[in-house]
Chains A and B, each alone.
Chain A
């Protein structure tokens, strides 16, 4: 298995509170991605990173921010959590844009009450 660790694996938080999810990789891959998975929508890209301090928005980026200060870590922050952000969040990594075999972490289940 690719060395990807997501933390926490489960979290319940209250509406309006900030939440940070962490993705840690040991593969030294350049590209890292955050997806959310909701019934009927498959996996939708939130943000991605193509290097340290280099990030870009995906299709559902509103309400989320990311940071990548080290190659191995990619953080996803919900500045003020809302119930619509209740979801399962997956981190993925890939080595290059040519080799697009992205590998996924085990996911973080976030519930906003």
Chain B
């Protein structure tokens, strides 16, 4: 099946630093989604991308849909303690009605 590789697997950063993470696929996708999951909770949608090359922001978060349609990037600017959690990318091909998820990037923010 399709595989989504996220990197890095984990990050330890200081408050105020910028964060970058990415997701790559062996197959193309029509939609890329980025989720954040807090402990004991379900994933919460952060950003949705629907077009190759698209750059979308949501507050301090910015995500891009790669031109090749096989990758996506998420950046967080000026990190704060509540950014702590696991970030998942997900790809959707369209007709299959299935979202494929990456394995997640665990973000830790130190004061």
How distant is the Cα of A91 from the Cα of B48 in the complex, in angstroms? 19
Which residues from 22 to 49 on chain A have a C-beta closer than 8 Å to any C-beta of chain B? 31, 33, 35, 40-45, 48
Taking a contact as CB atoms closer than 8 A, the residue among B31, B41, B88, B98 that contacts A45 in the complex is B98
Contact with A along B29-53 (1 / 0, CB 8 A): 0010101000011111100100000
Q: Is the CB of B104 within 8 A of A42?
A: yes
Can you name the residue of chain B whose Cβ is closest to the Cβ of A1? B44
CB closest chain-B residue, reference A105 = B42
Q: Do A100 and B48 have beta carbons less than 8 Å apart?
A: yes
Q: Which of B13-21, B59-67, B70-78, B89-97 contacts A (4 or more CB under 8 A)?
A: B89-97
A35 CA to B4 CA in the complex, in Å?
16
Contact assessment for B101 and A104 in the assembled complex, using a CB-CB cutoff below 8 Å = no
Across chains A and B, the number of contacting residue pairs, with CB separation under 8 Å, is 57
**Is A74 at the interface (CB under 8 A from chain B)?**
no
Q: Interface size on B (CB < 8 Å)?
A: 25
- Which residues in B have their C-beta under 8 angstroms from that of A104? 35, 42-44
Q: Does A102 contact B (CB under 8 A)?
A: yes
Extra contacts besides A42-B104, A106-B42 (6): CB < 8 Å? A31-B97, A42-B88, A48-B97, A58-B98, A92-B42, A100-B33
Cα(A100)–Cα(B32), bound, Å: 9
A31 CA / B95 CA spacing, docked (Å): 13
* Contact (A33, B99) CB under 8 Å given A101-B33, A104-B43, A107-B41: yes
Instruction: Pick the residue among B41, B95, B98, B101 that contacts A106 (CB under 8 A).
Output: B41
CB within 8 A of A40: which of B4, B43, B45, B103? Answer: B103
Q: Does A103 contact B (CB under 8 A)?
A: yes
Instruction: Please indicate the chain B residues that have their CB under 8 angstroms from the CB of A103 in the complex.
Output: 45
Partner among B1, B44, B94, B102 whose Cβ is within 8 Å of the Cβ of A42: B102
